[in-house]
Amino acid sequence: MSIAEPKPTGKARRLPILPQRGKVSLFEILLLLVCIGLVAVGLSPTLRDVLLLTFLFAGLALAWNIAGGYAGLISFGHAAFFGVGAYTSTILLVHFNVTPWIGIWCGGLLAAVFGAVLALVCARLRGPFFILSTLAFAEVVRIGALNWASLTGGPEGLSISPAPSLINMVFTSKTTYAALMLGYAVLVYAITKALEASRYGYYLFAIRDDEDAASAAGVNPQLGRTSAMALSASLTGIGGSLFAQYFLYLDPTFVISPEISFQFALLPAVGGLGTAIGPVLGSFLITPLSELLRSNLGNAAAGLHLVIYSAGLIVVMLYFPGGLAAAIGKLARWRPFS
Amino acid sequence: MNAFGQLVLSGILIGSIYALMSIGLTLIFGVLRVVNFAHGEFLMIAMYGAWGISHLLGLNPYIAAIAIVPAMFLFGALVYWMIINRALDKPHLVVVFATMGLSIFLQNIALMLMTADLLDVPPIFSQSVTIGPFYFKVELLLGFLITILCTVGLQWMIRTTYLGKAIRATVQDGEAAMLMGIPVPRIFLITFAGGSALVGLAACIMLPLFSVFPTVGLNFVLIAFVIVVLGGMGSIEGALLGGICVGVVQSLSSYYVSPALGQMFFFILFLLVMIFRPNGLLGQKGAANIGMND
């Protein structure tokens, strides 16, 4: 049986303006160019700090979105993977003098193992039960890290103090860090885009939308869920290593805190779950907002930035449950003059 | 052996107080089928309220409950009307994220208004009670008694009164209940507000035992989730049992292992229950499927 392939029309072959599943769009290219421009342009140190955190959190939100948005595994325990990645590369560097360029991948790999374990532990759980179990899992990891002081430094934390050099992945210039974080975000974005258009991506959508139907159609839901969680965990772990290389100090109560887990989940939720551009939009909107509010109002009113940010979150959730990506999509279809 | 008995008894008492704090959560979950991630912040607000009353008026926190419980009922009703009500017909994630947003919101409002300082009330009872070879803090004993009274009272309310029957009908089949003339949205409102009022009561009982600070809710909400799941979501007597389990595990493990690892034990306990008995210890069949309708 052969069905004639519909000939691609001129219009379809053209670069789409707004992001589409599995295609590179004008919007994405322009965004990338703007980002590269921002890295290259000499910004003030504060702004450069904000910029590199925006990139880092965009990457982390994208990584969370692979599990949460694509496979429907809403996790509030991703801080565990973040911490595993951060600690692995740091411990390898501090105790064993292994360069972070290798350590990062070790961290990613170990985080993937943790992710697979979590997915297997929670194999039969759905909905709020799954969410709560991921939260408990991260707490177990956090308390473990806090008490295994010989390895992690316990509550005193662990600092990285090698001389700045390429081999140690410690730099004096924030521009280099910004470029590194941008590279990370682009890597995770590219993986997400590739996943969207792949057979595997469609498996994940099928599992998320109707597990029984997917199973009946020959998709193995357990395998899909476990691998999606492992992939997402591994990318989160890599982000954790980068975070450690930038802040040069780790402490379990901050790195593996529920707040960090919530942050990973909230950025894609505001931006648009299950879209590639959503987490990026979420991070570009929220990270600078909360960082700038924090640095400008920080001392005057502790917590005000989070008040504004959380009130915004509630409004977005209640009135635009599809997030910013859906709102932009709606805007693109809006034809006022036709 | 004496130490062991003392630990188990203290664990039961503290666990019952944890249970009181969790009953509101389990009630809301059982009826509305939403997880209120801001539950811990409701507790925090109520604790601040009770602290304010005891600090400004010099009343003890138990008396403050007379004002705090109705105030929390109204607060719960307000939150229901502004947020929960609007999120119920949307995908399940919306409620999760909206209540999480509310939790961050309330935490930081508290941080702005009250700063991060730990606040306490002066001790109310100077002596412990001795029963046989065991010592008990009076605050804990009082908390235990109030929890038992509340559990029995709620059970009676749900079994026999018209409101209780309407709540049970709503849990069993919301649509059928509506067709029988039960105002389901109002039942939701009353349940949510009532659950919040119970947290208010728990806060008044906990204030003499724990300090209050803006992120106090986070510590307790995790315990409350563990209890609710252990007991089976939506089950009141389950919450009591779950609370006592958590209290005993915490008290034994912090004595025999270490206080820091004590916390870890009940999270591991939680994960084990999730793996082997996702319906909870007393939960009825299918409890684990609640909230999956997204």
What does B73-141 look like in DSSP terms, one character per residue? Answer: HHHHHHHIIIIIHHHTTS-HHHHHHHHHHHHHHHHHHHHHHH-S--B----S--S-EEETTEEE-HHHH
* Partners of residue A121 in chain B, C-beta under 8 Å: 271, 274-275
Question: How near does any CA of chain A get to the CA of B87, in Å?
Answer: 6
Within-domain flag for A277: no
Split into its structural domains, chain A has a count of: 1
Note the pLDDT of residue A300.
57
A45, A191 Cβ separation under 8 angstroms: no
Residue-level pLDDT at B284: 55
Mean pLDDT of A12-20: 69
- Tokens 């996702």 sit on residue: B278
What's the DSSP call for residue A159? E
Residue A1 lies in a domain: no
Q: Does B272 reach chain A within 8 Å, measured CB to CB? A: no
Per-residue confidence band for B47, with pLDDT thresholds at 50, 70 and 90:
very high
Q: Say whether A269 and B93 touch across the interface (CB within 8 A).
A: yes
Which residues 6+ apart lie within 8 Å of B273 measured at CB? B229, B230, B280, B281
| pLDDT over 90 (residue B111) | no
Chain A, chain B: beta-carbon pairs less than 8 Å apart = 139
Instruction: Report if residue A155 sits inside a domain.
Output: yes
Residues of A within 8 A of B101 (CB-CB) are 266, 310-311, 313-314, 317
Res. B2: pLDDT tops 50: yes
Mean pLDDT, rounded, for A275-280: 89
Which structural domain range is residue A48 located in?
44-257
Give a yes or no: residue A23 inside a domain: no
Least confident of A122-136, B99-113, B173-187, B263-277: B263-277
The per-residue DSSP string of B189-242 comes to HHHHHHHHHHHHHHHHHHTTTS-B-TTHHHHHHHHHHHHHHHH-TT-HHHHHHH
pLDDT higher at B113 or A112: A112
Per-residue confidence band for A62, with pLDDT thresholds at 50, 70 and 90: very high
Mean pLDDT of A222-231: 93
For A286, half-sphere exposure in the C-beta direction (CA atoms, 13 angstrom radius) is 30
Asked if the model's pLDDT at residue A9 lies above 90, the reply is no
- Determine, for residues A139 and B263 on separate chains, whether the beta-carbon distance falls below 8 Å: yes
**Is residue A91 in some structural domain?**
yes
In a domain, A229, yes or no: yes
Cβ separation B274–A137 shorter than 8 A: no
ipTM: 0.80
B23: CB partners within 8 A, 6+ apart = B150, B151, B154, B195, B198, B202, B236, B239, B240
**pLDDT tens sequence across B246-290:** 899 888 888 887 777 777 777 888 788 777 877 766 655 555 555
Residues of B in Cβ contact (< 8 Å) with A146:
260
Of the ranges A272-281, B118-127, B230-239, the best mean pLDDT one: A272-281
Q: What are the structural domain ranges in chain B?
A: 2-289
Using pLDDT thresholds of 50, 70 and 90, give the confidence band for residue B294. very low
Nearest to B233 by CA among A129, A245, A207, A80: A129
pLDDT at B286: 53
Range B2-289: architecture per CATH: Orthogonal Bundle (1.10)
Of the segments A96-100, A243-247, B229-233, B268-272, which one has the largest average pLDDT value?
A243-247
Confidence of residue A322 (pLDDT cuts 50, 70, 90): confident
Q: Which of A127, A133, A144 sits opposite B291 (nearest CB)?
A: A127
Is residue A92 domain-resident?
yes
Q: Is residue A180 part of a domain?
A: yes
Shortest alpha-carbon distance between residue B65 and chain A (Å): 28
Chosen from B99, B221, B274 to mutate, greatest number of chain A CBs within 10 A: B274
How far does CA A219 lie from the centroid of its chain?
26
Least confident of A141-145, B232-236, B244-248: B232-236
Strand partners, A94: none
Preferred mutation among A125, A132, A270 to probe B, highest tally of B CBs within 10 A: A132
> Whole-prediction pTM value?
0.83
Task: Compute the 3-state secondary structure of chain A and give helix, strand, coil in percent, each to the nearest 5.
Answer: 75, 0, 25
pLDDT at B72 over 80: yes
pLDDT tens-digit readout, A157-203: 888 777 777 777 777 788 888 889 999 999 999 999 999 889 888 88
- At A1 the pLDDT is 43
Task: Answer whether B6's CB lies under 8 Å from B140's CB.
Answer: no
Residue B291 has pLDDT above 50, yes or no: no
pLDDT tens track for B117-165: 888 888 777 777 777 777 788 888 888 999 999 999 999 998 899 999 9
Across the interface, whether the CB atoms of B267 and A143 are under 8 A apart is answered yes
Q: For A67, phi and psi rounded to 5 degrees?
A: -80, -50
